[in-house]
Amino acid sequence: MSNKSESNLNLISVGQIKPARLDLEAVRQKLASARGPKYWRTLEELADQEAFGELLEREFPRQASEWVDPVSRRGFLKLAGASLALAGLAGCTKQPMEQILPYVRQPEDLIPGKPIYYATAMPFAGYAHPLLVETHEFRPTKVEGNPNHEACLGSSDLFSQASILDMYDPDRAVGITYKGEGRPWAEFLGQIRGIVQYHKANRGGGLRFLTGATSSPTLGSQMKAIQQIFPDSKWHRWEPVHRDSVRAGSKMAFGGSYDPIYKFDAADVVVSLDGDFLSGSWFPGFVRYARDFMSRRKDPAKGMNRLYVAESAPSTTGAKADHKIVARQVEIDKIARALAAKVGVAGVVAERLDAEHQKWVDVVAADLMAHKGKCVVVPGVFQSAAVNAVAQAINAALGNVGQTVTYIDAVEIDPVDNTQSIRELATDIAAGKVETLIMMGDVNPVYNAPVDSGLLPFGDFEVEVDDPKEAGKKKKETRQGLLSKVKTIIQLSIYKNETTDYVTWHVPETHYLEAWSDGRAYDGTATIMQPMISPLYDGKSAHEIAAIFTDQPGTSGYDLVRTYWRSQHSGDDFEGWWRRSVHDGYVADSAFPARQVSAKLTGLPPAAEANGLEIIFRPDPTIYDGSFINNGWLQETPKPLSRTTWDNVALISPAMADRMGLLGMELGDVAQSDLKKNVNKDHQSDALNRLTITVNGRTVEVPAWAQPGQPDNSITLFFGYGRKKAGRVGLETDTAHPRGYDAYSVRAAASYGAVGQVADTGKTWDVAVTQGHFSMDSREPVKAATLAEFTKKPRFAHEESEPADKETLYPDYREKDWYKQNAWGMAIDLNSCIGCQACSVACYAENNISVVGKEQVQRGREMMWIRIDSYYEGDPANPSVYFQPVNCMQCENAPCEPVCPVGATVHSTEGLNDMVYNRCVGTRYCSNNCPYKVRRFNFLLFADYETPSLKLGRNPDVTVRSRGVMEKCTYCVQRINAGRINAEKKTGPNGEAVRIQDGDIKTACEQACPTQAIVFGDINDPNSRVAKLKAQDRNYALLAELNTRPRTTYIAAVSNPNPELEKAEKA
Partner 1 sequence: MALNDQVDQLPPKGIRPPIIGPGQTLGTATDRIAGIVLTKHTPIFWFAVVAVSVGIFGILNTAIAYLLGRGTGIWGINIPVGWGFAIVNFVWWIGIGHAGTLISAILLLFKQSWRTSINRFAEAMTIFAVMQAGLFPLVHTGRPWLAAYWLFPIPNTMGVWPQFRSPLIWDVFAVSTYFTVSFLFWGIGLIPDFATLRDSAKTLVVRRIYGMLAMGWRGSARHWNRYETAYMLLAGLATPLVLSVHSVVSLDFASSIVPGWHTTFFPPYFVAGAIFSGFAMVLILAIPFRALYGMQDYITLRHLQNCAKVMLATGMIVAYAYVLEMFMGWYSNDRYELAMVHNRLHGPYSGYYFMLVLCNIIIPQSLWFNKVRSSPLALFLVACVVQCGMWLERFVIVVMSLQRDFLPSSWGMYWFTKWDIATLLGTMGFFTLLFFLFIRFMPAISIFEIRTLLPQSKVKE
How far is the C-alpha of 527 from the C-alpha of 122, rounded, in Å? 10
- Using the rule CB under 8 A, is 64 a contact of partner 1? yes
Contact criterion met (CB below 8 Å) for 872 and 40: yes
How many CA atoms does the CB half-sphere of 459 hold within 13 Å?
Answer: 18
Q: Which amino acid is at 532?
A: M
Positions 598 through 617 that interact with partner 1 (CB under 8 A): none
- CA separation for the pair 441, 475 (Å, rounded): 37
Among 935, 1002, 1030, 1045, binds partner 1 (CB under 8 A): 935
837 belongs to the binding site for partner 1 (CB under 8 A): no
Q: At a CB cut-off of 8 Å and minimum separation 6, what does 811 contact? A: none
Candidates 151, 378, 966, 1008; binder of partner 1 (CB under 8 A) is: 966
Is residue 903 packed enough to be buried (19+ CB in 10 Å), middle (13-18) or exposed (0-12)? exposed
Touching partner 1, residues 309-348 (CB under 8 A): none
| Among 470, 451, 471, 469, residue whose Cα is nearest residue 461 | 451
Does residue 56 belong to the site contacting partner 1 (CB under 8 A)?
yes
Cα 186 from chain centroid (whole Å): 39
Tell me if 477 sits within 8 A of 144, measured CB to CB. Answer: no
**Please, what is the minimum distance in Å from the beta carbon of residue 917 to partner 1?**
11
Of the candidate spans 76-84, 303-311, 385-393, 701-709, the one that interacts with partner 1 by CB under 8 A turns out to be: 76-84
63/227 with CB nearer partner 1: 63
- The reply on whether position 34 binds partner 1 by CB under 8 A is no
* Residue number, 38 or 698, with CB nearest to partner 1: 38
Kindly tell me which residue out of 32, 34, 80, 349 binds partner 1, with binding defined by CB under 8 A. Answer: 80
Binding mask of the shown chain, residues 672 to 711, with x at each position contacting partner 1 by CB under 8 A: --------x-xxx---------------------------
> Contact letters (x/-) for partner 1, 1033-1062, by CB under 8 A?
-----xx--x--------------------
Our CB check for partner 1 shows the closer of 773 and 795 to be: 773
Among 170, 860, 956, 999, binds partner 1 (CB under 8 A): 860
**Binding flag, residue 995, partner 1 (CB under 8 A):** no
Number of residues that bind partner 1 (CB under 8 A): 76
Contacts of 1042 (CB under 8 A, 6+ apart): 895, 931
Binding status of residue 760 toward partner 1 by CB under 8 A: no
The footprint of partner 1 on residues 861-880 (CB under 8 A) is 861, 867, 869, 871
- How near is the Cβ of 643 to partner 1 at its closest, in Å? 9
How far is the CA of 168 from the CAs of 139, 157, 495, 764, 865, in angstroms?
A: 10, 19, 12, 35, 22
Binding to partner 1 by residue 914, rule CB under 8 A? no
Rounded CA separation 949/169 (Å): 7
**Among residues 284, 617, 204, which one has the least CA distance to residue 419?**
617
Q: Does 301 bind partner 1 (CB under 8 A)?
A: no
**Which one of the spans 58-66, 214-222, 505-513, 759-767 is the region binding partner 1 (CB under 8 A)?**
58-66
Rule CB under 8 A: is residue 963 a binding residue for partner 1? yes
Please state, in angstroms and rounded to a whole number, the distance separating the CA atoms of residues 337 and 347: 10
Do 929 and 990 contact (CB within 8 A), yes or no? Answer: no
> What does the DSSP 8-state code read for residue 1?
-
Helix, strand, or coil (residue 973): helix
- Please give the residues from 777 up to 816 whose contact with partner 1 meets the rule CB under 8 A: 777-779, 781
- Counting every residue, how long is the chain? 1067
Q: Looking at 594-720, which runs of residues are DSSP E strands?
A: 613-618, 644-645, 650-652, 685-695, 698-706, 714-718
Q: Which is nearer to partner 1, 900 or 996 (CB)?
A: 900
Window contacting partner 1 (CB under 8 A); options: 108-116, 143-151, 375-383, 963-971 = 963-971
Q: Which of 563, 694, 745, 927 binds partner 1 (CB under 8 A)?
A: 927
Q: Which of the stretches 422-430, 504-512, 654-662, 896-904 binds partner 1 when contact is defined by CB under 8 A? A: 896-904
For partner 1, which is the closer residue by CB, 26 or 1040?
1040
Asked if residue 558 binds partner 1 (CB under 8 A), the reply is no
- The answer to whether 899 contacts partner 1 (rule: CB under 8 A) is yes
Site for partner 1 (CB under 8 A): which residue of 940, 952, 978, 1064? 940
Q: Decide: 1048 and 828 in contact? Cβ < 8 Å.
A: yes
Q: Look at residue 58 and give its three-state secondary structure.
A: helix
Cβ count within 10 A of residue 26:
14
| Stretch of 75-83, 158-166, 335-343, 604-612 contacting partner 1, by CB under 8 A | 75-83
From the list 190, 231, 606, 903, which residue makes contact with partner 1 (rule: CB under 8 A)?
A: 903
Question: Contact between 7 and partner 1 (CB under 8 A)?
Answer: no
Cα distances from 624 to residues 158, 291, 392, 631, 833, in angstroms, run 11, 21, 27, 11, 21
Q: Applying CB under 8 A, which of residues 3, 13, 29, 65 lies at the interface with partner 1?
A: 65
